[in-house]
Every structure is written in structure tokens, then in C-alpha cells.
Amino acid sequence: MTVNRMVRIIAGFFILLSLSLGVQASPVFHNVNWLWFTAFVGLNLFQSGFTQFCPMDTMLKKLGFTESC
């Protein structure tokens, strides 16, 4: 699996998890402050689109994931 694919999978998982923990209508609601984590992930994805720098990208490369197929 490539780094780009893993970044998208992890970001999507974090967003869905933090939304389920932060939205009051969710059955697993914990605290509204989880929505800050959703905003952090979204802003990180947004800035990485412009700067080509993503901390998760760097971590996955160090863990041995390939950059392309």
C-alpha cells in the first residue's frame, strides 16, 4: 500500500472517529471538543495540498511504506 493511500485512509478514519465522538446526535458521543480534532485534520489536509508537507506522510515513510506502486 502506498503512502498517499494510507494518508487518505488514516485522515478519513480520524475525521469519522472525531465526528462520531463530538456530535451530540451520535450514539458514542463523548465531548464536543472532539470537533477541534476534526478541524485539525482538515486544516492539515488543506495546507498539505499547497505546501506538499504532511507529517503523516513523513511518519509513514519512516515506517517503511512505499511512496508509489
Q: Tell me which DSSP letter residue 63 carries.
A: T
Is the predicted pLDDT of residue 68 greater than 80, yes or no? Answer: no
Cβ–Cβ under 8 Å, residues 7 and 23: no
Q: In this predicted structure, what is the pLDDT of residue 60?
A: 94
Q: In this predicted structure, what is the pLDDT of residue 53?
A: 93
Is the predicted pLDDT of residue 67 greater than 90, yes or no? Answer: no
2 strand-pairing partners: 66
> Angle between the 55-62 and 3-22 helix axes, to the nearest 10 degrees?
120
Cell of 55: 507529517
How would residue 69 be classed by pLDDT, with cut points 50, 70 and 90?
low
Cell of 42: 482538515
Q: Each residue of 12-58: pLDDT tens digit?
A: 999 999 999 999 999 999 999 999 999 999 999 999 999 999 999 99
Angle at 3 between CA 16 and CA 44, to 5 degrees: 50
